[in-house]
Amino acid sequence: MEVPGSSKKMIATQAEMVEAKVPLGYRDQCAHLLIPLNKCRQAELYLPWKCENERHSYEKCEYELVMERMLQMQKIRQQEAAHLKHGGAQQSIPLAPKTANA
């Protein structure tokens, strides 16, 4: 499954994530590494020195996702800065919505 804007593919399917009870916030391109990590944690009674290889693989995957998003945001900001530099109109976002009577 392709994820728009990301170089990593979704490996774990929705059915696998539901079966493994992966919380919605953790269902990203690294979920396929979280599933065996959580199984290992349960089997080893959450001892912190156990499952280090699985944890390292999962954290490395998450780090790579964050770095990829940061680079994408940096490119977007550079494009916006170039657009403004060449006479583009700056769009301001209001801090508070206007009311009907104001």
Instruction: Dig out the tokens for 54 from the structure.
Output: 């699985």
71: containing domain: 14-76
Q: Flag whether 1 is in a domain.
A: no
Q: What is the pLDDT of residue 86?
A: 75
Q: Which residues of the chain have pLDDT under 70?
A: 1, 88-95, 97, 100-102
Q: Flag whether 49 is in a domain.
A: yes
Q: What is the pLDDT of residue 91?
A: 61
Q: What is the pLDDT of residue 100?
A: 66
Q: What is the pLDDT of residue 31?
A: 97
SS (H, E, C) the chain: CCCCCCCCCCCCCHHHHHHCCCCHHHCCCCHHHHHHHHHHHHHCCCCCCCCHHHHHHHHHHHHHHHHHHHHHHHHHHHHHHHHHHCCCCCCCCCCCCCCCCC
| CA–CA gap between residue 84 and residue 3 (Å, rounded) | 30
How many domains is the chain built from? 1
**17-42 pLDDT, tens digit each:** 999 999 999 999 999 999 999 999 99
Query: Does the reported pTM lie above 0.75?
Result: yes
Q: Which residues contact 29 (CB under 8 A, 6 or more apart)?
A: 3, 6, 8, 9, 10, 11, 61, 65
Q: Flag whether 85 is in a domain.
A: no
Q: What is the pLDDT of residue 83?
A: 81
Q: Flag whether 81 is in a domain.
A: no
